[in-house]
Each structure stands twice: as C-alpha cells, then as structure tokens.
Amino acid sequence: MSHAFNLQIIRGIGRLIFDLPGEKVNKFTGEVVEELEKLIDSLKNNTEIKILVIESAKKNIFIAGADIKEIVAIKKQSIAEKLAKRGQDVFNKLEDLPFPTVAVIDGACLGGGTEFSLACTFRVATDNDKVAIGLPEVNLGILPGWGGTQRLPKLIGLTKSLSIILTGKPFDGRKAYALKVVDALIPQEFKEEKLAQFLETIANDSEREKIFKRRKLKGLLEIALEKNPLGRAFLFYKAKKDVWKKTKGVYPAPLKIVELLQESFASPLHEGLKKERDFFSHLAITDISKNLIQLFFIGEALKKDAGEKEKIEPKPIYSAGVLGAGIMGGGIGWAFSNAHIPIRMKDIALEPLRKAYATTAGIYQKAGEHKPVPKNEIRIKMHKLSSTLDYTGFRQHDIVIEAIIEDMEIKKQAFRELENNVRENTIIASNTSTLSIHEMSSVLKNPDRFIGMHFFNPVNRMPLVEIIPGKNTSGQTIATTIALARRLKKTPLVVKDSPGFLVNRILIPYMIEATLMAQEGIDIERIDAIMEGFGMPMGPFILADEIGLDVCYKVCRILAGRLNLDTHHIELLKLMIEKQKLLGKKSGAGFYIHNSKEKYFNKDVVKLVHEVQESYNISPLQIRDKDILDRMVFRLINESGQCLEEAIIERPYYLDMALVMGTGFPPFRGGILRYVDSLGIESVMHTFHYLHERYGERFKPCMLLEDMKRNNRKFYEEAQ
Amino acid sequence: MKERIAIIEGLRTPFCRASAVFKDTGADDLGAFVVKELLARTSFPVNEIDEVIFGNVAQPYDAANIARVIALKAGLPTSLIAHTVQRNCASGMQSITAAANELWADEARVIVAGGAESMSQIPLIYSPKMARFFFQLAKAKNIVEKIKTFMTFRPSFLKPIIGLEQGLTDPICNLIMGLTAEKLSREFRISRKEQDAFALLSHQKAATAQSDNVLKHEIIPVFTPPAYTTVQEKDDGVRADQSLEALGKLKPYFDRVTGSVTIGNSCPVSDGAAAVILMKESTAKEKGLKPLGYLKAYSYAALDGSRMGLGPVYATAKLLQKTGLTMKDFDLIELNEAFAAQVLACEKAFASKEFAQKYLGQSEAVGELKMDLLNVNGGAIAIGHPVGATGTRLVITLLNELRRRNQNIGLATLCVGGGQGASLALEVE
C-alpha cells in the first residue's frame, strides 16, 4: 500500500510531508489516521529529530479535514464516539512528542486539519490567499470532535474561539496571525528561507519565549470578560442569546458548542476531550446533521454539474447588456458589476436607470457597513455599470439579459428589436419567471442562442439561478450561461421549460394555499407562525409582503392559468391590490403594516376577507394547527412530486437544494423530498388521503408518489 | 501639409458649477464616464486603441497620472498606455495636439484624447506653519516635548491656503486671472456695460441652444455618485432669465474699488470632462469610419502673463501664417470666454493693425473677429469652464455646429493662464 506520509530527516530537522496518494486533497480517512499513529509511535523515541516540520505536498491545500463520508455513514452514537476518540488519541500523541512540532499551512486547513495543527507546538501560515483556516463543523450540524473545542480556547481565549467555532467561517493567514492562531506569517514566495529562519527562532530559548509571550498577550476587553467568572457568565449568556436569535433553536449544534465551551473551559484537557466526544457523538447521529451533510454534498456536486446534458467549453463573456432597469434588471446589474463584468442597462427613461444605479450603490454601501471596503473599490465596481436609452453599445455584448415586464407580446416585440441590434452570436437570455422560453424564442431568426436565465429577487441575496434551455437552445449557449452564473457567484441549475420552471412552480401553489386559508378566515399571523415554526425563514404572508402583492398576484394568476389552479383562491390578493392599494412592504402596508422598525397585522385585511367570504359564499373554518401545516407542506410535496414526474428536473436532490436556495426551505430538514423520506411514504400517503377527502382535489397525490408507495421506494435510496 | 487628423466622435459630460452636483465626483470619474460612453456609442473595438491622453490642470492628489486612472475606470485594458498633459487652460487641446503628433509620427494609430477637471475637488492646503507644527509634533519624543510643541500652536496656523485660488494665480506676474482681465479692460477701454452685455448674450445663446436641444448630441447624462440621487443632463450654469439689470448689480470681484470684472461677466469655476477618438484621416478611411471632423493644423503662442487673455490673437496669427488661411475663411469660431473683457479685448486686437505691428511683427491686422460667428451656442461665461476639459469641448461643439450648418472650416482658440494661446483649425469635410 502506498503511504500518505513521507519523512526525511536532515541535520536534526524532520520534515513530514503529507501527500495522500491518488487524491487532489489531503484528508483524514480512517487509514490515514492509522498510518499517522504508527508514524508518531515510531518517532516517540527518535533522538535524531530536534524539530519536526509538517507540510503538505498538495498545492493550495494543507489538510482539507476529516473524511465527511465517514461521518455521514455513522448511525450509532458509540461508533461516533469511537471515531472522535480515535482522532483525539492520535492528536494527543502528536502533542506529547518529545520535540517541538511545526505545522506549515500554505493552503486550505479546515476542520480536522485545523485541529491537527492545534495539536502541534507551533503553527506557521503563508500569505497565500488560498490559505483558509477554520472549523466549519457547525455548518454540518456537528462540532469539532478532535480537540478543536478544547485547544483553540486555551490558545486564543474564549471570545475569539466562540466566534470561530460558531460561525464556522474560515480565515486567511494574515487574519490567523492577528488572531494568534498561528505564530508566524511568512511570504509564500520566500517560504523556504523564512521557514528556516522561524526554525532558528524556536531553537533559541529566549526567542521561543517571545512567541509564547505573544500568545498570552490579551486585550483589555478579553481580560475583563474571560479572566473572571462574572465576565465569562456574561460572555456565554450573550453567545447563547445570539445563537438563539439566529437559529430560533432549531439547530442543536451551535447551542451545544456554547454549552460545551462553558462546561469544559476550566477543565483539564483529557476531561474536556471526553466531553467533546460525548457532545460530538450526540450531534453526529442526528437527522439534522445527516441532512446538512447531504446538502453540503449536493452543493459540492452543483459546483461542477448544473444538470446540463453535455459538457461543452463555454464561450468567454467580456461584457453584457440588460434590457429593463427595474428591480430585477438593477439586481442583475449589481451582480455583474460585483463580478467586475461591464454591463450596460437599457431602459426607456433615465429615472429607472438612475434608480438602478442608486440601488446598486446602496447594496455596496450596506455590505461596506459590515466589512471595511478598500477606498475606491465601490466606485470602481460602479464604473462597470453604464446605461442607455437606445441600443448603442449592444453590438459589443456577448450576452444580453431581458428583464422587462412579464408580458409575452411585449417581450416578443423586444426580442425582435433586440436581435437586430446585437451580434449574430450574442446570447439572448430572458429573466422571465413565468413565461415559455420556447414561445419567446420563436420570434428569433436564430433561436439557438436563446435561453432562460432566471435570477431571484433580491439578486444580491438569492444564490440560485434557474437555467432554462428552450427546444432549440444550443449546448454552447447552455454551457456559457452556466459558466457565467458561476462567475457571478451564483448557483446555476438547469430546469425544463415549463410554467413557473421549478421554484416558482412549487412555491406558487403553497402561496395560493396560504391565501385560500386566509379567505377561510384562518388567522394570518397564526399561519405565518406555524410555517416559521416549521423552519421557513418567514411565513407566507410576510413573504408576500416582501415580494410585493402585485408581483405575487400577477405570477399566481399567470401560473394559475397555465397550471389549472383555481384563481378564486387568490381573490383576496386581488381585492387588496385593487381596492386598497395594498402592495406589501414597498407601499408600507400589505398583510402587515410596515414602518421603519416593526410590522404588525393590518386589520383592514379582515374586512376584505369578509367581502371575499360573502361573494364566494365561504364559511369560516375551524382548523387544527397540524392541518394548517400539512395543507401548506403537502402542496409543496405534491407539486415537487409532479415536477419530478414531468422531469422538470431529473435529480431529486437537486430539487431539494433548489427549494433550500430558492425558497429558504429549512436546510436542517435536508429538503422537501428528504422530508418525505423522513416521514415515510406510508405516512405521507395517509396524510394525503386525509387532506384529499377533507380539503379537495388538489391534495390528490401525484402518480409518482403513488408509485413510490406501491414499490415502497425512497427518494434518497441510491445516495445512501 | 501634413495629413489631417480625423476626430471620429466626441462627447462630454454636462459642465456644472463647482461644489454642486458633481462635488463628490472626481475628475477621473467624469473622464471615465465620457470615455466609456464614447466607446459604447461608437462601438469602437477597445483593442484597437493604442493610448489614452488626457489634459488636466489641478492634478488630483488621489489620481496621479489621471489619464491612466480614467482609462482603467472606463474599463480599458490594463495593457493600455496613458499619459496626462498640462498646459493650463489649453490642457484639453494639448491632449488632442499631443495625440496628433504621435499619430503623425506613426507612434500610434488610434488615440483617445480629452480633458477632465473637478474644480470642486481642488483641496485646501495647510499653511507651511501648520505643516511645520505637525512635523514637530511627530518628531517630539516624549510627553514633555509634545506639550512644548503644543504650546507653539496659534489659531492662525489653521488658515488654509485655497488651492483653487493659487492655481488661478500667475506666480510670475503675481496676478490672479481676474486681474489680468482687469488689465485688458483698461488697455482696450472695455466698459463694464460692454462686458455685461457680452455676458448676457452668452447666456441667451446658450439658453436657446439648450431649449433647441442643439447640444444633446454631445452631452451624456451623468448619474451622480455616491448616492445617485440625480441624473445631470445639461450644463447647469446657463441662466435663461439673465438680465443686464441683474448683471449690473454685481460688485467687481477682483478689484473691488476700481474694477469692472464681476463674477457675472467671468466664467464660473466648474466640473466636467470631454473626450474624442483620434486617428489619421487615412486610418479612418481604411476602417470605413465617418469622422465627425478633422484637425487640419494647430499653433501655440506665448506672451506676457499679465495679458494672457490676448493669447488667441497671438496663436491665431501664427496659425494663419502656417496654413495660409485668413480670418475670412472660418465659417465659425469658438473663442473661450474666460472673461467678457478678455474676449472683447481680443476682438479689438484681432482687428488692429497697430497691435499687429507692435506685438506680432506683422504689417497687417490679423483679421476681423466676426462676433456673429463667435460662440454661437454660448460660451464659458454661461456654460462654465472646467479648465482642463474646455479645450476638448470647444473642438466638439465647433465641429457639431459646423455640421449642423452645413459649413466647413472652424477656428477653436483659447487663452491660457501664464501667458499663452492655443488655436486649432478644424474642418468637417
């Protein structure tokens, strides 16, 4: 068997090179850990080595972490604990070696990699911008189980450790040096020389002391908070409160992390490690962790594969145009400018263009409040935007994205005109959310360059972009659009050209169900609270207010027509818009009254509900919380099944990710189809039959679900 | 005669009064807006451009070699060379003639040239006393020395030096530009009334041009950073309601007791930028382009700085000698209106045989400056004078107007602080 580690000893300096055979990255698999243990055991009594330097042979990678596949496979707590103990024991041995050890971090060093480096005596990082040190375990619903929660606070204190472990956000070498996670920062280009210098430094007693002293230096605030029980109590109280505010208590890992640090901060290492693996093993076997890891894998898969049929080399995009500088056009302008791609916005008047500039500048301004931006950076990005009232400059563009009003005839006219004003090979994309790509492309002489590229609102916050090829769209056009979306730091996903595509198609019946329930006299705030309790980032009515009721109504109406849904279910929306001019947050009031600080229920809605009830002869309904939840969630389930049945998207796990990214479906549930799996198809069908009987035909489960029940199948069988 | 230089297209920002709409927009930003738009509107292939040359007077401290900053902010490739030229008020012409020289020498095939100025952003400067105080403070080693240094502070240290004022003062003759105009008003006996009447006419012509949308083709709308609360579409100094009465009420600004030059009959300080694409006529033909017009020849001339306003007379005399043209050949003339007194002095000097003999060493007068052909769409008194950008504007405005009138030959000329003049002979066909 080939070895992952390679040791050379030259003049007292041991160099241990980690180079996992046959892999692009170094990671800790069971085998690797075993080999490492044997190696450490063999070095224990080695008198030749004065200092041991540990490096990686992989470019831009030190150690990517533990093998997540091994963690996700664990079903029993005892096995999880064993896995944690195994790593802890080996890292303890590393720490106990009789000579100093130095981890040289010149690339990604995450999770187990960081924990490994923390068990070394010294850590050195380069200023390579690929250096990423951090403990991202929390994002996978677990916590660092190989000593990270114990060694990090002892090294850099509680405040900083809590923030690193709770956010899971990696940092570069410069930041690591400032945080005192590493003892030296060396220029990558002079790595060898500077490392040699560092080794000389630590061989010298007084110089070495300086390094230890630097670690101990603490700021005033740190001393005040961490060096006395009262300060610490406040620190943990605050941490818990923040976690609760952020996660609403549905994610156990962050709470466990705070609890663990609180309980173990003062304990000796071996006791702390015992607690750590105990907490780790509890979390590792939860469904939530399995779900989050599954989503992580899907996310990784999506980075390479957007679901396109063929892989073709994309064409380069040097500049872009956008038709319509409304909310979506402006958002698209922001995304391009942020990626340093010149983009020219066309609209029929200067005022919408000005608004687009202002909105874009506002997004940068806001981002700058959280993180200092280098002087002039915003201005330089803003210079990527230009604007026009005619088509001047459009011949230079490699792609033009249409983002004008959702009206087939107007769009067709715009495309006819556009085609005469761009090059033969310019990609023409539509940001439509509801209309047929194929029908739009029919007006073009050259439909193979036409594609749907559906961004979500607000563009700066929504990561998903639906890529919708029409019947005649070329593979090259698809590949180029996918590559472009990735350059814009978005996640592209190929879906079939059908009404509402994927996300809106599934979301709209859910929104319609919410409106219908409101019309049945069910308390709006109650429905919102139930859905938030389920884990949705906001209830359906708050969402509607955010989107804008007019937009919501229009999308619902268009799709209701194309999907055969009952339009009288959204009568309330129509009345709100037409009678009371309630448009949601943008007009100050919708289902809720919005003022600058808070929002509260809009009582005018009740009157309108009565009106709808009278004209449609609807009697108010008494209903259980469970039925409210099921009516909402099972509309999602049924429509999702229908989408798979119609092959709107082929892979169930991509559908799950799309809903997480596109609607904020709670990640801890792993996605709507994974949720079906967790309930069990038997129980799901049972609920469907109940809902069908009681609430109507729309709850008749789709064929795909019936088939699954007949064959007792799961969506995620193959993946596990 | 050298081959003509083709001016393919030219654009400019609106010219706006300083410390107003463009106060937060640097000269580099204004320049970048114009260059970006120029390339978009002409669909000119970026990779065919060889250099960017920009004129700028104040040289912003945060945009050294502003031409390069403009090029990169406009999205031109990092491989593109760029340099900045400074000939005071003629900087925006200097960039064009510097480009012409490079084109004639075959050192470049296509050049983007222009001028940009933010007079809003010319900084205030600490006095040498204050600077010395800062230096001592930094040098002080301990608290006692620091306190000692603090004790030397006097409130008068805080009085800033106004960069703008310094820039507009000739350090040799020690006159601020307004006083050179006062000098000409005396020498050529130009009354306050005549000056005000000229200023009024400038506003009236500019206002008519605005309402007739004559300048729309050359001005790009500017969305104003940082908050983009406005779109600026036109020059904001033009007063359609200007009157002799209002002008007459103003006090002389530079010589408050015996003077006649007011802020009403002088050009305001402004912000703005302009740019053109240049190549040899033959290159344009090769590329099948239809140029806006051509640069036929140019001349610069120098004179006593305290009479700098007469620069156009000197430079034009030189240009006529060089080209064999006469004043009668020009269908239209753009002569920059730094001061009404200065333009009217030029009018007299152009026509004066005595002046020609005394100062220009030629026996006959340079030729009549026909006032009805002069600045037909208004001049700097109404439009404004962002010093580094005006030269380029005159060229663009002149060519557009010649085209509109179906005429052919024009003269663009201006006076230059420090005692120079610049004159360009331009043609449409």
Whole-number Å distance between alpha carbons of B330 and B297: 13
Residue A564 Cα, gap to closest chain B Cα (Å):
44
- Alpha carbon B426 to chain centroid, angstroms: 17
Interface of B with A (CB under 8 A): 29, 32, 36-37, 39-41, 43, 73-75, 221, 223, 225-231, 233
CB pairs under 8 A between A and B: 51
| Minimum distance, in Å, between the CA of residue A392 and any CA atom of chain B | 5
CA–CA separation, B94 and A538 (whole Å): 62
Least CA distance to A355: which residue of chain B? B228
As a whole number of angstroms, the distance between CA B364 and CA B320 comes to 12
Give A379→chain B minimum CA distance, Å: 8
Query: In A581-651, which ranges are continuous DSSP H helix?
Result: 604-616, 625-645
Query: With bands split at pLDDT 50, 70 and 90, how would you rate the model's confidence at A2?
Result: low
Quick check: A562 pLDDT over 60?
A: yes
- pLDDT for A227 beyond 90: no
Minimum distance, in Å, between the CA of residue A382 and any CA atom of chain B:
9
Q: Give per-residue pLDDT as tens, B172-198.
A: 999 999 999 999 999 999 999 999 999
Q: How many CB atoms lie within 10 A of CB A297?
A: 15
Find chain B residues with C-beta within 8 A of A382's C-beta. 225
A 332-351 residues inside an 8 A Cβ radius of B: 342, 344, 350-351
Does the pLDDT value for residue B123 go beyond 50?
Answer: yes
State the Cα–Cα distance between residues B192 and B255, nearest whole angstrom.
13
* Average pLDDT over every residue of A46-75: 95
**Inter-chain residue contact B74 with A393, CB threshold 8 Å:** no
What CA–CA distance (Å, rounded) separates B134 from B255? 36
In single-letter form, the type of residue at position A11 comes to: R
On whether the CB atoms of residues A111 and A137 are closer than 8 A, the answer is yes
Mutate to test the interface with A, among B220, B228, B232, B233 (most CBs of A within 10 A): B228
Inter-chain residue contact A378 with B37, CB threshold 8 Å = no
Domain residue ranges of chain B, discontinuous segments joined by +: 5-119+268-427, 127-161
Q: Tens digits of per-residue pLDDT, A695-708?
A: 999 999 999 999 99
Q: Mark yes or no for CB contact A354/B233 under 8 Å.
A: no
Distance from CA of A360 to the nearest CA of B (A): 9
A717 three-state secondary structure: coil
For the segment A359-381, what is each residue's pLDDT rounded down to a tens digit?
Answer: 999 999 988 888 778 878 999 99
Interface with B, mutate which of A357, A360, A364, A395 (most B CBs under 10 A): A357
Cβ of residue A353 closer than 8 Å to a chain B Cβ: yes
Closest alpha carbon to A533 in A288, A254, A289, A248? A248
Asked if A392's CB is within 8 angstroms of B36's CB, the reply is: no
B153 min Cα distance to partner chain A (Å) = 32
The Cα–Cα gap between A426 and A398 comes to 5
Q: Do B223 and A342 touch (CB under 8 A)?
A: no
Name the range with the highest mean pLDDT among A246-255, A371-380, B274-283: B274-283
pLDDT at A222: 80
Determine the Cα angle at A48 with ends A46 and A54, to 5°.
80
Q: Considering only alpha carbons, which residue of chain A is nearest residue B231?
A: A354
Closest to B42 in 3D by CA, of B290, B214, B273: B290
Mean pLDDT of chain A: 94
Q: Find the closest chain A residue to B226 by CA distance.
A: A361
| pLDDT tens digits for range A15-57 | 999 999 999 999 999 999 999 999 999 999 999 999 999 999 9
Residues in chain A with CB shorter than 8 Å from the CB of B226 are 361, 365, 378-379
Which of A350, A380, A383 lies closest to B231 in CB terms? A350
Q: How confident is the model at residue A719 (pLDDT cuts 50, 70, 90)?
A: very low
- Summarize pLDDT for B329-349 with one digit per residue, the tens: 999 999 999 999 999 999 999
Q: Is the dihedral of CA B65, B66, B69, B75 positive or negative?
A: negative
Cα nearest neighbour of B227 on chain A? A358
Chain A residue nearest residue B74, CA to CA: A383
- Torsion angle of alpha carbons A449, A455, A459, A464, nearest 10°? -110
Return the closest-CA partner of residue A492 out of A468, A458, A460.
A468
Q: Which residue of A380, A389, A390, A426 to mutate against B (max B Cβ within 10 Å)?
A: A380
Proportion of chain B above pLDDT 90, given as a percent: 88
Could you tell me if A652 and A644 are in contact, meaning their C-beta atoms sit under 8 angstroms apart?
yes
Is the CATH number 3.40.47.10 carried by domain B5-119+268-427?
A: yes
Is B89 a catalytic site residue? Answer: yes
3-state class of A671 per DSSP?
coil
Half-sphere exposure of A144 (CA within 13 A, CB side): 32
- The ipTM (two decimal places) reads 0.93
Looking at CA atoms only, how far is residue B12 from chain A in angstroms?
A: 15
Q: Extract the tokens encoding B86.
A: 């400074």
Count of CB atoms situated within 10 Å of the CB of B47: 11
Closest partner residue to B37 (CB to CB) among A357, A386, A395 is A386
Residues of chain A above pLDDT 70, percent: 99
Catalytic residue, from B16, B83, B89, B217: name it. B89
Binary contact (A361, B227; C-beta < 8 A): yes
Would you say residue A90 has pLDDT above 50?
yes
Under 8 Å CB-to-CB from A111, ≥6 apart: which residues? A64, A65, A66, A134, A135, A136, A137, A144, A148
Candidates A358, A380, A392; nearest CB to B41: A392
Report which of residues A228 and A107 the model is more confident about: A107
Q: Report whether pLDDT(A1) > 80.
A: no
Contact A378 B73 (CB under 8 A): no
CB contacts, 8 Å: B229 with chain A = 358
Which residues of chain A neighbour B230 with C-beta distances below 8 Å? 354
| Residue B378 to residue B380: CA distance in whole angstroms | 7
Cross-chain residue pair A379–B225, CB shorter than 8 Å: yes
Cβ atoms of residues B398 and B97 within 8 Å = no
**Which two structure tokens, joined as six digits, stand for A209?**
């002391």
Give the pLDDT confidence of A110-146 residue by residue, as tens digits.
999 999 999 999 999 999 999 999 999 999 999 999 9
Question: What integer is the mean pLDDT of B294-307?
Answer: 98
**C-alpha distance from A150 to closest chain B C-alpha (Å):** 44
Residue of A nearest to B220 (CA): A388
Contact check, Cβ <8 Å, A354/B231: yes
What is the pLDDT averaged over residues A652-673? 96
C-alpha distance from B101 to closest chain A C-alpha (Å): 30
Cα(A186)–Cα(A179) distance, integer angstroms: 15
Q: Which residue of B has its CA nearest to A353?
A: B223
Supply the pLDDT for residue A368.
81
Q: Which chain A residues touch B73 with a CB distance below 8 Å? A: 379-380, 383
Q: Which residues does chain B have within 8 Å of residue A342's beta carbon, measured at their own beta carbons?
A: 75
Is the pLDDT at B376 greater than 50? The verdict is: yes
A383·B36 Cβ contact <8 A: yes
Q: Catalogue all structural domains in chain A, each as residue range(s) with its CATH number.
A: 5-285 (3.90.226.10), 320-494 (3.40.50.720), 503-711 (1.10.1040.50)
Contact A383 B73 (CB under 8 A): yes
Most A CBs within 10 Å, among B223, B224, B230, to test the A interface? B223
Q: Which of residues 385-404 of A touch B (CB under 8 A)?
A: 386-388, 392-393, 395-396
Q: Given this model, what pLDDT does residue A720 score?
A: 40
* Rg of chain B (C-alpha set): 22
User: Which residue in the list B16, B203, B267, B385 is annotated as catalytic?
Assistant: B385
Find chain A residues with C-beta within 8 A of B36's C-beta.
383, 386
| Given A438, A454, A569, A594, the catalytic residue | A454
Write the DSSP string, A179-216: HTSSSEEE-GGGHHHHHHHHHHHHHSHHHHHHHHHHHH
Q: B85, B65 in Cβ contact below 8 A?
A: no
Contact A383 B29 (CB under 8 A): yes
Which residue of chain B is at minimal alpha-carbon distance from A342?
A: B75
